[in-house]
A and B are shown apart, each in its own frame.
Chain A
Amino acid sequence: MFRRFLSLFACLLLFPMAGMAQDAPATATDLAEEAHIAPAYVLLTLQSGSYWLALPDEGEVDIPIRQTRDDGSEEINTLRLTPKGVYMLSATCENQDCVEQGMVSIENRTDRILGNMILCLPNAVAVELFTPEEIRAMYASREAQP
């Protein structure tokens, strides 16, 4: 009885591994899939929810975040994504803390006081930088969204 369970377990364990072994020689489509994974991703958290932004492979991308109030006044934070990391280019907030917090890159994340975060408290904008490995672990460990 126990032995049967063991063999069943071994089968379960071996099947995916065998599948992986067969897939190992990379096909053209796999390489294309791999190329889509950016070096790091930015998790942008706003009042409306959280969004993923991929760091560009080359060049710079500016992401304006516009928040408009009922009375028509608005606050704009501009996030700049570069292949190395992300920083707040400009913000219409009162203290400019987020601009002064500088760039978060894959290298300096552990050295910064704020870690992988850029925070704009007045405009309620939170920016975090994650590597693909961390994101995989994040979604594997819990089903709920971050």
Chain B
Amino acid sequence: MNRTQASSTAARITVSSMLLAVMLVLGYIESMLPSPGVPGIKLGLSNSVLIFAVYMLDIPTAFILMSLKVLLSGMMFGGVTTIIYAFSGGLVSLTAMVLLRRIPRLSPVIVSMGGGMFHNIGQVAMAILILHTPSAMLGYLGILMLAGLLSGFLTGLIARQVMKHLRASALHPRAVRRRGTLVTVLAVLVTAGTLLFAWHSMPHLSGNRVTIEVMDTAPLQDASAPPF
């Protein structure tokens, strides 16, 4: 495979779709692992693929990969809630990683840890927006950020090892790396489309009226006053 072939659009599409497939498989494997029942705490294995994309491919491709992974994975194994939370986390996390990547001589492991932490910050921000419980969620944020650092460390190690071994290989995707306006436009479109889709499917966000009844034996006590 020579350089001209490798830098063609076909090669770019091939590498991106291969990475997307890897992310989806990793997401599927992760969905089979026992969940701790606590939202937000998980391994986030596909983050290692994103790290790889941020380092080896271009930034627009990384955003396309993230959006498509969130969308497809949510449709296949999760639900609407998974999509909106994973997307808010992924967007914040990927932005943080892209920015951290610009700091010279920063290890991919550190970048990944930052990404993991910001993933949970993004999710908690979305949770506050949806649930209206800022005080309680902020207390929970500390634990989530710690969990994000830990899982970011693990996925960062994986990504670093993969990149180390791939550097000498002919499959090194740097050949594919090319700046293109088309990819940037596509990335903006895909990301915005995912955001719109997720926003529209959440009944609590999209403006759909939701009537709520709580059936208590005693009349409900509004929390504007203490209960006793």
Contacts and interface: CB of A to CB of B under 8 A. Distances in A.
Contacts, number: 132
Interface of B: 35-39, 41, 78-82, 85, 127, 130-133, 135-136, 139-140, 143, 203-204, 208-218, 220-228
B77 to A, nearest CB: 10
Interface of A is mostly: mixed
A93 B215 CA distance: 19
B171 to A, nearest CB: 37
B223 A119 contact: no
Contacts of A43: 223
A66 B215 contact: yes
Contacts of A132: 228
Contact of B37 (A52, A100, A126): A100
B35 A100 contact: yes
Given A51-B220, A97-B39, A135-B227, A124 B139 contact: no
Contacts of B143: 113
A11 interface: no
Contacts of B224: 145
Contacts of A94: 78-82
Given A114-B38, A115-B140, A135-B227, A64 B215 contact: yes
